C-alpha cells in the first residue's frame, strides 16, 4: 500500500446512511454504512488516513419519533442527548463495518468513534430566530400545547401541519479536538463530529448542552481547519455540483474558485436546504487555510480525489 501524507476529512450525509427509505431498521442502516465503508476503504488503500464525519438528521428523527410515542410512559429526551445517542450508534456501525471491510482487504487499522461536542456562542443570533425543523408534524392544538407547556418554538410547514423548530448556531470550537489529534498522530482512523457535534456552550467555566442543531458540513469544515488538513471532501447524493439544477439548462461544474462559488451562492444557484450549506462550508474551509474542497458522491470518491470526477473548489 502506498503512503500518502495529505490530510483529509470526509463528510458523509445522514441520508446516505439510509439505503432504503421505507426500511429504516438498524440492519438496513448498517448495510448502507458498510457500502459507504467500501468507498472509504478504496482511498485507504491509496494511503490516506481519513477522518470521517457524518450527518444524523434522519437518525435523530427516528429517535424523536420513538420518544414521542413513549411520552405517556417516559420523559422526553433533550436534543443534545439525542445527538449523543446517534453519534454513538452511528459511530459504532461505522467503526465495525470499516474494520470488517479493511480486514477483508488485509488492511489492519485501529478505528475510534469519538462522541464530539461542538461549542457554540450562547449569544449566537440563531437562538433568537430558530429555523431548523425537527420531529413529527402536529396539528395546531398539539403545537400550541407544546409551545405553552414545553417552551417550544413551532411553525407551520408548507400547509402540512406544524413542526418544532430549533436554532442552528455556528460551531466555533471542538472540545475533543486534542483527543482527535492525538489519535490521528498515532495512526488511528477517527470518526468524529457526527451530526455536526453535540451543541454546547461554555458559560462561567461550565459546559452546557443546548437544544439546537449544528450544520454537519460547517462543523466538518471547522474540524478540517482545526486539524490543518489540506483536503476536505463532502459526499452527497449527486456526483458533482450543478448550476440550474433540475432545469433544462442544468450543467455540471468540474472546477471553480472560492470567489466563483460565493458568486453562485449570492445568485441563489444552490438550494438552501441542500447544496448551499455545503458551498458555505467549502468557502469557510478555504478562507481559513484549506487547500482543496471536493464535492461528489460516495461512489465517485476515489475518482474525485484523482481529479476525474466531482467538483473541485480551490482558492
Query: Could you tell me the sign of the dihedral formed by the alpha carbons of 295, 297, 302, 304, in that order?
Result: negative
Q: Is the pLDDT at 191 greater than 70, yes or no?
A: yes
Give catalytic status of residue 132 as yes or no. Answer: yes
Segment 73-93, tens digit of pLDDT = 888 889 999 999 999 999 999
Higher pLDDT, 310 or 163: 310
Give catalytic status of residue 19 as yes or no. Answer: no
Catalytic residue (choose from 13, 14, 91, 197): 14
CATH of 8-120+188-306, one of 1.10.4190.10, 3.40.50.2300, 3.40.50.2030, 3.40.1160.10: 3.40.1160.10
User: In terms of Cα–Cα distance, which of 307, 258, 261 is closest to 287?
Assistant: 258
What's the whole-model pTM score? 0.92
Catalytic residue (choose from 13, 196, 278, 310): 278
Per the structure block, which three cell numbers stand in for 101?
A: 471491510
Q: What is the C-alpha to C-alpha distance for residues 263 and 267, in angstroms, rounded to an integer?
A: 6
Catalytic residue (choose from 56, 216, 284, 310): 216
Give catalytic status of residue 14 as yes or no. Answer: yes
pLDDT of residue 215: 93
Average the pLDDT over 32-45 and give the result: 94
The count of residues in the chain is 315
Q: Are the C-beta atoms of 53 and 12 separated by less than 8 Å?
A: yes
Q: Is the pLDDT at 29 greater than 60, yes or no?
A: yes
Segment 42-78, tens digit of pLDDT = 999 998 999 999 998 888 888 888 888 887 888 888 9
What is the band of 2 on the pLDDT scale with cuts at 50, 70, 90?
very low
Q: What is the C-alpha to C-alpha distance for residues 72 and 66, in angstroms, rounded to an integer?
A: 12
Q: For residue 108, count other CB atoms closer than 10 A to its CB.
A: 8
The DSSP line for 178-243 is: HHHHHHHHTT-EEE--GGG-EEEEEETTEEEE-SB---HHHHHHHHHHHTT-SEEEEEESSSSEEE
pLDDT of residue 166: 92
pLDDT of residue 175: 97
Name every residue whose Cβ is closer than 8 Å to that of residue 212 and which is 6 or more positions away in sequence. Answer: 79, 80, 120, 126, 127, 132, 166, 167, 168, 169, 199
Amino acid at each position: 500500500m502506498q503512503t500518502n501524507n495529505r490530510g483529509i476529512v470526509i463528510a458523509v450525509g445522514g441520508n446516505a446512511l439510509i439505503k432504503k427509505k421505507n426500511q429504516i431498521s438498524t440492519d438496513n442502516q448498517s448495510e448502507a454504512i458498510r457500502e459507504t465503508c467500501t468507498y472509504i476503504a478504496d482511498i485507504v488503500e491509496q494511503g490516506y488516513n481519513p477522518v470521517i464525519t457524518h450527518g444524523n438528521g434522519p437518525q435523530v428523527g427516528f429517535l424523536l419519533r420513538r420518544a414521542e410515542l413513549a411520552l405517556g410512559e417516559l420523559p422526553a429526551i433533550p436534543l443534545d442527548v439525542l445527538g449523543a445517542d446517534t453519534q454513538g450508534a452511528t459511530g459504532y456501525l461505522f467503526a465495525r463495518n470499516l474494520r470488517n471491510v479493511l480486514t477483508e482487504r488485509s488492511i489492519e487499522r485501529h478505528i475510534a468513534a469519538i462522541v464530539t461536542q461542538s461549542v457554540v456562542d450562547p449569544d449566537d443570533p440563531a437562538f433568537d430566530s430558530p429555523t431548523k425543523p425537527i420531529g413529527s408534524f402536529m396539528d395546531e392544538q398539539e403545537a400550541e400545547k407544546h409551545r405553552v407547556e414545553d417552551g417550544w418554538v413551532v411553525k407551520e410547514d408548507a400547509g402540512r401541519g406544524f413542526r418544532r423548530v430549533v436554532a442552528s448556531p455556528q460551531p466555533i470550537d471542538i472540545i475533543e479536538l486534542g483527543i482527535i489529534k492525538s489519535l490521528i498522530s498515532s495512526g488511528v482512523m477517527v470518526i468524529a463530529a457526527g451530526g455536526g457535534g453535540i451543541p454546547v456552550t461554555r458559560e462561567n467555566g461550565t459546559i452546557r448542552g443546548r437544544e439546537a442543531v449544528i450544520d454537519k458540513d460547517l462543523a466538518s469544515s471547522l474540524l478540517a481547519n482545526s486539524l490543518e488538513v489540506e483536503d476536505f471532501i463532502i459526499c452527497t447524493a449527486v456526483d458533482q455540483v450543478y448550476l440550474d439544477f433540475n432545469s433544462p439548462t442544468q450543467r455540471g461544474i468540474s472546477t471553480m474558485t472560492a470567489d466563483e462559488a460565493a458568486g453562485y451562492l449570492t445568485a441563489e444557484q444552490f438550494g438552501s436546504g441542500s447544496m448551499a450549506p455545503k458551498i458555505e462550508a467549502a468557502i469557510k474551509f478555504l478562507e481559513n487555510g484549506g487547500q482543496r474542497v471536493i464535492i461528489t458522491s460516495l461512489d465517485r470518491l476515489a475518482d474525485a480525489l484523482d481529479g476525474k470526477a466531482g467538483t473541485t473548489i480551490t482558492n
